[in-house]
Amino acid sequence: MQDLKPLREAILNGDAKAAHDFVEKALAAGAEPLPLVHDAMVPAMDEVGRRFECNEYFVPELLISARAMKSALELLRPLLIARGAQPAGRVVIGTVKGDLHDIGKNLVAAMLEGGGFDVVDLGVNVSPDQFVKAVKEKGANIVAMSALLTTTMPSMKGTIEALKQAGVREQVKVLVGGAPITQKYADEIGADGYSDNAPGAVSLAKKQLAAKA
């Protein structure tokens, strides 16, 4: 069994090139993709999340670790799909209508991917109808919305209403986040969960799906 410590370290240190090179060489030497993900990369991202929660890591460290994870995953994704690996769930994510802030949303999307989720990123300025359409087309079981402006927060409520009207509200767990969002607001609009950070969003998504099963 290959020593996976350098891959774990590369992700913890946010070294995208080292992570990518390690995976490339490991695959060329005949390594199976799944253990690389499950035994090194996902635990490394879990550790990144833990360090973030105890203020050892901050947003810049999250961003570079997520980028390293992404660059290694790009090599692995087609192989995992070909081997029929089941994603943890399928998430449709976007920044709500009227809002163009995407740094936090991108971080959440990358961390969710790192956590084994299949992520459909709709980008920014996403209308309630676009969320509904994506849920139907992609068969998502999680909708994750981000808002950074107090003026765009109501679009989260609008999206939940649109999901209800389209008859798909029960199919999905709705998770919300972004600087002005609070647990109180999430409760008021009928969301299933709220997180104030990206690693927390991954734990929340896992918890919500486990509760649904």
Buried b / exposed e along 87-103 (16+ C-beta atoms within 10 A): ebbbbbbbbbbbbebbe
Q: Does 51 bind ligand B1M (CB under 6 A)?
A: no
Residue labelled with tokens 């950070």: 197
| Amino acid at the residue 94 | G
> Interface with ligand B1M by CB under 6 A: which range of 24-32, 33-41, 162-170, 190-198?
190-198
Residue labelled with tokens 């709220």: 194
Q: Does 183 bind ligand B1M (CB under 6 A)?
A: no
Residue labelled with tokens 């927060």: 153
Q: Does 177 bind ligand B1M (CB under 6 A)?
A: yes
Binders of ligand B1M among 102-121, rule CB under 6 A? 102-105, 107-108
Total Cβ atoms within 10 A of residue 171? 16
Both structure tokens of 144 = 């994750």
Q: Does 59 bind ligand B1M (CB under 6 A)?
A: yes
Q: Does 128 bind ligand B1M (CB under 6 A)?
A: no
Of the residues 27, 80, 85, 149, which one makes contact with ligand B1M according to CB under 6 A: 149
Applying CB under 6 A, which residues contact ligand B1M? 59, 98-105, 107-108, 144, 146, 148-150, 175-180, 195-198, 201
